[in-house]
Chain A
């Protein structure tokens, strides 16, 4: 047939106009507002070294959150990330006791993360089990192994070179972790938004059946995403272990909920199908600023978690209430 059909424009609203009305724009406003509030509330906030310290509140969790965001966009979830960090840290501790140097420790951390991710991925993608059930199971499993290995004890005495990852600076106040955070944000941003793989992830999250009927290898996509989440958990384990300089079995306890909180706050639909990496970056900044600001004001940890919980529910509920009131 000759192209007789009527012309259909590419867009009705320009992408720039759409970006202005986006969730990310709202988050950016919130981040700036909290920044200003913090600087008014505490005279120490604007000190560059203090700000540099503040980044540790979110860098490790955010690294995992990028991979988690892609997983949740694809309609899956991984609640075992905190336990993967613990197991990877424990494995590094064992390697350290056996005399491994820094390069080998890093390799062990990455390999453990990948192996845990592959285990989750096989159970979900190959055997078709629901990811929430699988990863609640492996959450106990992975951390349980750490407890068996360590008991009440801890691994300490990591080699001095290893401290670079969690305690080092690249230039001035820019920490190594901040650089890793920025690089992973770029990599995951490109992966989700600029590659064919990212597009298939979105398709799978919107409707896995229809994606399969469009010739997409849905199981392979899911497996790769679990693998990536495991890998990022391994990287986070290296940073965290290096920063703390020790491994206890309770390391990174509760990480999974904070990571999921960042992802959801970043505008990723918990039902899958939509979400952006810039949103997750902003959400990580907001979380970091809030906890750091409250810390400067000597607010106790319990109150802090109440504030974070309230923030999450508020940010999620307000747009919903807004659309409900408008549609009435």
Chain B
């Protein structure tokens, strides 16, 4: 179908979602949301991490099937049972990490899966090159169709992804944080491209955390919160404060069992930590019994910083002191020795060692203590594992059970038990409650509070504002690898966190 097939008609959406519900075990990712995309207009989808933005993209592109609700294309009900069906309906997505093929050329990437054929059924290279040339000219790109993708930078890759979207005559283009990895100049080029797409009457769904760019290029807005639709409207009627308010929404109430803990001497001091690509000039202090929250958008460098503290990667500069003594941490073993332990976000790969039984997971870093002279002592292992798993109220059939058979929340408990058994000074929890059910979540929060009261120092990385505010004594907000703000006491408000994370500046003092 031609790009200018339909006359400009601002009133009728190309694509609408109505009452979309999508549940996963233990979590309702989308709870009756709606969304309208209009031809020749940019609709910004706004929401915190976990609001359901990624899920809706997957519903739109046929990767997830909604449990309930309707997809309307030109007002007619449609289903996208596969990614191909979504593609045929003219929906295409340009992802945060675009899926492209390094070893293929620009032209091959653009036409992969739908290359023009000649009469022998073989790929018609000349037609492909001509059409790619035309598309690239359209979007004002000077890329060579025969360039290999692996030689291109991120911005050029985005161009290729966009050209690919145009090559299948897309009517709806989804851009999921397209500017996250781009330089200032490249972002300007992207804006120009979005204008081109608008002129070609494409409907654009633009997902972004950056308010400046939303106000710069969007025509309409839609806000999601916790998988629910909050509202939609025209950008020209919107204010930044109003949108932030809608994103954050609810009051942060007392469901968080944070007890006042006696905060003591500094335990961990990090000074000028730098990493060539992930973070820069990180300086902070963690005190005994304190829960220090780290908030920020996905990709702000929080996990990377924590993994450097845990010895997974090494900082290029900076020093780390524990109990006033400088410790050089070059491996996870050295981190554990120094008393720093880390509960990772990526539980599948980095969490419990699936295939090993529960008790062996718990005792893995403590074998020196449970064993003697390098030999194992099973009785001691079972005793240690029992002590800590019971403390965490683990639900399991036996301690000899493969940890991979446990639910996500219980696997998380095994990982935490493993670290508590090493009697650490500092425990870093990276998104400790992400994707676990409400009951386990409350148990984890309760337990954190108790550990802090016992004098353990805790760093909690979280993208959930209520959790950060409810559990932390103090919050550090990171943005693009740097500390954007540090809030404590009255400054700890949802608005301040969102503003600092998005780079808008705080309402009361403390700017980036």
Interface residues of chain A, those whose CB is within 8 Å of chain B, are: 1, 3-12, 194-200, 202-203, 206-207, 209-217, 273-274
B463 at the interface (CB under 8 A from A): no
A206 to B402, CA, bound (A): 12
Interface pair A196/B355, CB less than 8 Å apart? no
Q: Please judge, given known A-B contacts A11-B398, A199-B376, A215-B365, whether A206 and B390 are in contact too, CB under 8 Å.
A: no
Interface pair A216/B396, CB less than 8 Å apart? no
Interface pair B390/A202, CB less than 8 Å apart? no
Q: Please judge, given known A-B contacts A4-B393, A5-B394, whether A273 and B367 are in contact too, CB under 8 Å.
A: no
Interface pair B375/A215, CB less than 8 Å apart? no
Interface pair A196/B367, CB less than 8 Å apart? yes
Closest to A212 in B: B332
Interface pair A215/B397, CB less than 8 Å apart? no
- Chain A contacts of B390 at CB under 8 A? 3-8
Given contacts A10-B382, A214-B361, 14 further A-B contacts (CB under 8 A): A1-B450, A3-B390, A6-B390, A10-B398, A12-B397, A195-B376, A196-B371, A196-B376, A198-B376, A207-B349, A210-B352, A214-B365, A214-B418, A273-B355
Interface pair A11/B418, CB less than 8 Å apart? no
**Chain A proximity mask over B382-412: 1 for CB below 8 Å, otherwise 0:** 1000110111111111111100000000000
B256 at the interface (CB under 8 A from A): no
Q: Which of A4, A194, A211, A214 has the most CB of B within 10 A?
A: A214
Interface pair A215/B336, CB less than 8 Å apart? yes
> Min CB distance, A65 to chain B, in Å?
22
Closest to B396 in A: A8
Interface pair B391/A207, CB less than 8 Å apart? no
A211 to B364, CA, bound (A): 8
Closest to A4 in B: B393
Interface pair B394/A210, CB less than 8 Å apart? no
Interface pair B356/A5, CB less than 8 Å apart? no
Residues from 323 to 369 in B contacting A, C-beta threshold 8 Å = 331-333, 335-336, 341-342, 344, 349-356, 359-361, 364-365, 367-368
- Chain B contacts of A8 at CB under 8 A? 386, 389-390, 394, 396-399
> Min CB distance, B418 to chain A, in Å?
7
- Chain A contacts of B389 at CB under 8 A? 5, 8
> Min CB distance, A137 to chain B, in Å?
24
Q: Please judge, given known A-B contacts A210-B350, A215-B333, whether A200 and B398 are in contact too, CB under 8 Å.
A: no
Q: Please judge, given known A-B contacts A213-B350, A214-B364, whether A6 and B393 are in contact too, CB under 8 Å.
A: yes
- Chain A contacts of B360 at CB under 8 A? 199, 202-203
The 6 closest A-B CB pairs, nearest first, are A5-B390, A206-B355, A215-B336, A196-B367, A5-B393, A215-B365
- Chain A contacts of B322 at CB under 8 A? none
Tally of A-B Cβ pairs under 8 angstroms: 117
B312 at the interface (CB under 8 A from A): yes
A217 to B364, CA, bound (A): 12
A213 to B375, CA, bound (A): 22
> Min CB distance, A41 to chain B, in Å?
41
Interface pair B398/A9, CB less than 8 Å apart? yes
> Min CB distance, A269 to chain B, in Å?
9
A/B interface sample: 18 pairs, CB < 8 A? A1-B391, A5-B390, A5-B394, A7-B390, A8-B398, A8-B399, A10-B398, A12-B397, A12-B398, A12-B401, A195-B371, A206-B353, A207-B355, A213-B342, A216-B332, A216-B364, A217-B333, A274-B355
- Chain A contacts of B153 at CB under 8 A? none
**Chain A proximity mask over B440-455: 1 for CB below 8 Å, otherwise 0:** 0000000100100000
Interface pair A5/B353, CB less than 8 Å apart? no
> Min CB distance, B459 to chain A, in Å?
16
B374 at the interface (CB under 8 A from A): yes
- Chain A contacts of B331 at CB under 8 A? 217
Q: Which of A203, A207, A210 has the most CB of B within 10 A?
A: A210
A8 to B401, CA, bound (A): 10
- Chain B contacts of A274 at CB under 8 A? 355
Interface pair A10/B374, CB less than 8 Å apart? no
A175 to B368, CA, bound (A): 38
Interface pair B375/A196, CB less than 8 Å apart? yes
- Chain B contacts of A196 at CB under 8 A? 367-368, 371, 374-376
Closest to B389 in A: A8
Closest to B364 in A: A214
> Min CB distance, B456 to chain A, in Å?
12
> Min CB distance, A195 to chain B, in Å?
5
Q: Please judge, given known A-B contacts A8-B394, A215-B333, A217-B331, whether A200 and B367 are in contact too, CB under 8 Å.
A: yes
- Chain B contacts of A7 at CB under 8 A? 390
A128 to B399, CA, bound (A): 34
> Min CB distance, B412 to chain A, in Å?
13
A143 to B364, CA, bound (A): 39
A195 to B372, CA, bound (A): 9
Interface pair B351/A213, CB less than 8 Å apart? yes
Contact of B364 among A203, A209, A273 (CB under 8 A): A203
Interface pair A199/B367, CB less than 8 Å apart? yes
- Chain B contacts of A202 at CB under 8 A? 356, 360
Interface pair B400/A12, CB less than 8 Å apart? yes
- Chain A contacts of B399 at CB under 8 A? 8-11
A52 to B346, CA, bound (A): 55
- Chain B contacts of A210 at CB under 8 A? 349-354
A318 to B355, CA, bound (A): 22
A130 to B449, CA, bound (A): 44
- Chain A contacts of B371 at CB under 8 A? 195-196
Closest to B450 in A: A1
- Chain A contacts of B393 at CB under 8 A? 4-6
Interface pair A1/B447, CB less than 8 Å apart? yes
- Chain A contacts of B447 at CB under 8 A? 1
> Min CB distance, B20 to chain A, in Å?
35
Closest to A274 in B: B355
Interface pair A10/B364, CB less than 8 Å apart? no
- Chain A contacts of B312 at CB under 8 A? 212-213
Interface pair B332/A213, CB less than 8 Å apart? yes
A217 to B367, CA, bound (A): 13
Closest to B451 in A: A1
- Chain A contacts of B354 at CB under 8 A? 206-207, 210
- Chain B contacts of A216 at CB under 8 A? 332-333, 364-365
Contact of B375 among A194, A203, A214 (CB under 8 A): A194
Contact of B332 among A12, A194, A214 (CB under 8 A): A214
- Chain B contacts of A206 at CB under 8 A? 353-356
A217 to B335, CA, bound (A): 11
- Chain A contacts of B351 at CB under 8 A? 210, 213
Interface pair B376/A215, CB less than 8 Å apart? no
Residues from 448 to 470 in B contacting A, C-beta threshold 8 Å = 450
- Chain B contacts of A199 at CB under 8 A? 360, 364, 367, 376
